[in-house]
């Protein structure tokens, strides 16, 4: 057995909130065989199995009575390329932002708008990560996942993944599929997406009239760095709430009473409201209760100022949810997974 299983391990280094809870058992998987050994170990010892990646989409509210396995598989491969496109495969444990930068350094475009998102490649399809007008589904080709019930491998196409807004089949069947590696259809010719948020404005301010994908990445990194705290310095999980989807009629009604409401029409006729705007208007921006708080610059981000527990952060999140329902009649959904 190559899998090294340890007892009673602090998960503080393995979650971006920096919450100090303990795992009954802990191991890191560096290969498919390690993953299979973890499945067998959990079955043989009758313990639950929790798979984590970079820990950037977790809120741990108590000690974990399970075998926690961190996906640490590494590897990036170009499977096929021609003069215009490249099919690139990355192992689930690859850190996301360095993967994006590696692609850009090779002259391969398509991921630039997803720069500086925390987490790992394997976690990216689970919630169909997105930023500045691009989502994983826009560059996704396929992935390989292991069936936790049988240990068999299965290939998932774009259609199989059933991607939605911060959603996929893997979120609805989270206990079954373990993503091992992901393939992306990227391009050697840039098709830049510049019209979402302040991206074009930032490029104009820098005097860049004909931006490259690397220019776009740098601009987005600068924008994100100004808005979002570095988890290495201030514990957080990025945007804590999803932007809520409501009917067009509901959005129009809210616009009457709140003329500055920020909303975006969707292809299906609904409207996406800016959760950050709702939270800020409700007065939560910069709020702090002990070491649990809302970031002073970005109301979508809950932060751990040092010693907040997962329960402290969850209590704050639920208070915000209740207040938004009371003030706007809109329900906010949390993005991180709760354990």
**pTM of this structure:** 0.90
Query: Domain map of the chain by residue range?
Result: 6-71, 76-227, 235-338
Q: pLDDT tens for residues 124-162?
A: 999 999 999 999 999 999 999 999 989 999 999 999 999
Q: How far apart are CA 324 and CA 259, in angstroms?
A: 17
Contacts of 214 (CB under 8 A, 6+ apart): 104, 112
CATH code 3.30.465.10 for 76-227: yes
Q: How far apart are CA 80 and CA 310, in angstroms?
A: 44
CATH code 3.75.10.10 for 6-71: no
- Determine contact, residues 306/313, Cβ cutoff 8 Å: no
Contacts of 46 (CB under 8 A, 6+ apart): none
Q: pLDDT tens for residues 72-84?
A: 999 999 999 999 9
CATH code 3.90.550.10 for 235-338: no
Overall average pLDDT of the 160-180 stretch: 91
Catalytic residue ranges: 166, 239, 335
User: What's the pLDDT score for residue 1?
Assistant: 65
Residue whose C-alpha is closest to residue 79's, from 144, 170, 130, 27: 144
Q: How far apart are CA 239 and CA 298, in angstroms?
A: 9
Identical fold, 76-227 and 235-338: no
């Amino acid at each position: 057995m190559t899998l090294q299983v340890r007892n009673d391990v602090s998960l503080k280094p393995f979650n971006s909130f920096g919450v100090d809870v303990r795992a009954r058992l802990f191991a890191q998987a560096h290969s498919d065989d390690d993953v299979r050994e973890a499945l067998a170990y959990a079955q043989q010892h009758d313990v639950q199995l929790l798979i984590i990646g970079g820990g950037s989409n977790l809120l741990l509210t108590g000690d974990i009575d399970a075998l926690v396995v961190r996906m640490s598989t590494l590897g990036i491969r170009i499977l096929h390329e021609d003069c215009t496109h490249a099919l690139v495969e990355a192992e689930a444990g690859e850190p996301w932002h360095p993967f994006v930068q590696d692609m850009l350094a090779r002259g391969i475009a398509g991921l630039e708008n997803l720069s500086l998102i925390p987490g790992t490649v394997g976690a990216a399809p689970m919630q169909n990560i997105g930023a500045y007008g691009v989502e994983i589904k826009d560059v996704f080709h396929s992935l390989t996942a292991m069936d936790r019930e049988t240990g068999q491998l299965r290939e998932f196409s774009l259609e199989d993944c059933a991607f939605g807004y911060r959603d996929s089949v893997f979120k609805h069947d989270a206990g079954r599929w373990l993503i091992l590696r992901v393939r992306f259809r990227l391009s050697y010719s840039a098709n830049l997406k510049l019209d979402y948020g302040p991206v074009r404005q930032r490029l104009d301010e820098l005097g860049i009239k004909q931006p490259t994908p690397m220019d776009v990445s740098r601009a987005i990194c600068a924008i994100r760095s100004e808005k979002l705290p570095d988890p290495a310095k201030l514990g957080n999980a990025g945007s804590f709430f999803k932007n809520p989807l409501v009917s067009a009629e509901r959005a129009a009604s809210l616009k009457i009473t709140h003329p500055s409401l920020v909303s975006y029409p969707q292809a299906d006729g609904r409207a996406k409201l800016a959760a950050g705007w709702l939270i800020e208007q409700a007065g939560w921006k910069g709020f702090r209760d002990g070491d649990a708080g809302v970031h002073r610059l970005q109301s979508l981000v809950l932060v751990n100022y040092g010693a907040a527990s997962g329960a402290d952060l969850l209590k704050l999140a639920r208070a915000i949810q209740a207040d938004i329902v009371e003030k706007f009649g809109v329900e906010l959904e949390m993005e991180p997974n709760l354990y």
